[in-house]
A and B are shown apart, each in its own frame.
Chain A
Amino acid sequence: MAAVADILESVDRLPALPGTVIRLTAMLTDDQADLGEIEEVARHDEALSMAILRFANSALYGRAGREFNLRQSIVRLGGKMLLRIALEQQASNLFESAGEAYGLRRGALWRGAVGGAFAAEEIAKKHAFPDVDLCFLCGLLRDVGKLVMDAHYGADYLPRVSPHIAPGCTVVEGERAAFGADHAQIGAELALRWRLPQRIADAIRYHHEPPAEEPDHDLLFDIVHAGDIICLWAGLAIGHDGLQYKLAPHVRRGLKLGRREAELDITVTWGRLRELEEMMDDSPTQGKST
């Protein structure tokens, strides 16, 4: 794992998980947190305040001709929805770039992050996974390693990795051959540096290659992995790496993922993303370049 550390150490400014998200996550998992504290955090983040007001006053929440202020909006949306909005909104800052290495247009990685989060959430609900929000969070963060790869290699990424991607070879295998580490391993290490729990870091680490056997097997990893593939099929965050990834057979079997279910998940994921983009009317432009 020396390569992972070397790559992380060599990046001048590592991507940072927005402080608002960290504070809100802590508050919302603490039963003692009161709405005043949450309002205080949101009030110091203008973009987040705007997003909360926009959601609470939207038709989606049955707006009935009255305007809700920030406090009323927080009450109206509830804690979990608030965290969700914060994650979606803040992720647009975190995943703003990452274009050059992977051939992604501005905003494309954000679309992929949120799309993967929605897909993982849908799959988790169907399988009655006990922590749907954890699946959402892991789906959202699964590709943070690409930010580091982009910062470290930039335009050098493609010429260096291309010779290592033989037919039938995945991009993560190519990255390991070219750099000694892949973006999933790097993302997991970054998550640990953010002091996120080990299980979240592992979900990031295994989002392309979830372990099939006990004791390492975890349904969370399977769900995040399946969400990633659904996201590819929905045409989200596809860059130079194309579709050079594999769906793990044990995940397909374990999640009973058939063609019909997968296609339905693709349409639902895409539809939810479109709704979110319409809601966040200042969302990044979709699409990417190859």
Chain B
Amino acid sequence: MPASATTYAKTEIDGKVVVGVADLAVTKDPTATLVTYALGSCIGVTIYDPAAKVAGILHFMLPDSRINAEKAQQSPAMFADTGIPQLFKSAYKLGAKKQRLIVCAAGGAEVLDDDGHFKVGSRNRTMIRKIFWKNNILLAADETGGSISRTLSLKVADGSVIVRNRGKERVIWPQ
């Protein structure tokens, strides 16, 4: 079951734990699949500890919480700089260890002809790289960019990470 104080994730009939926009979920349930739908400029981050069998997924919207401190307080998962630490801390509480974590990311797309003024997806991509670089974390798989939407899922049983776009699935971890 999701183990985060702030999650709005819903468990569906088929056992999928659906994580919405600006939300996260962490679980030790080996039968669960964590899934987040329709990543556009938002980024989905998955973490998985294969020894402790702890898995987590975050769907954040924007890079920097300073844009709206009140919202960051209410919904830390809305931003990369508040959501990523919360995702990791939630996993540690369930027994995950940083050095064992397999971290993947997907999303970070752009609207067309965004002539450099907004670059929401690109700034999200930059922010996760910055956060992970500062914390000595390497991305095991990175499926970001473009203009497409992506659905990201993580199976707790084996840690496999799947990206789905327009009905086509691709396993991005293990590669």
Contacts and interface: CB of A to CB of B under 8 A. Distances in A.
Interface string B53-73: 000000101100001100100
Contacts of B114: 247
Interface residues of A, number: 44
Contacts of A232: 40-41, 111
The B interface, classified by DSSP as helix, strand, loop or mixed, is loop
Contacts of B111: 229, 232-233, 243-247
B38 A170 contact: no
Contact of A289 (B41, B68, B148, B151): B151
A103 B37 CA distance: 10
A243 B165 CA distance: 13
A75 interface: no
Contacts, number: 135
A235 interface: yes
A290 interface: yes
The A interface, classified by DSSP as helix, strand, loop or mixed, is loop
A267 B38 contact: no
B122 to A, nearest CB: 11
Given A271-B74, A289-B37, A264 B61 contact: no
Interface residues of B, number: 43
A238 B40 contact: yes
Contacts of A116: none
A162, A168, A243, A288 pick with most chain B CB within 10 angstroms:
A243
Contacts of A239: 38, 149
A243 B124 CA distance: 15
9 contacts: A105-B37, A162-B166, A235-B38, A258-B117, A259-B118, A262-B118, A266-B61, A289-B164, A290-B151
Given A247-B113, A266-B61, 8 more contacts: A232-B40, A242-B148, A243-B109, A243-B121, A271-B75, A285-B18, A289-B164, A290-B38
Query: Closest 4 A-B residue pairs measured CB to CB?
Result: A242-B149, A235-B21, A287-B37, A238-B38
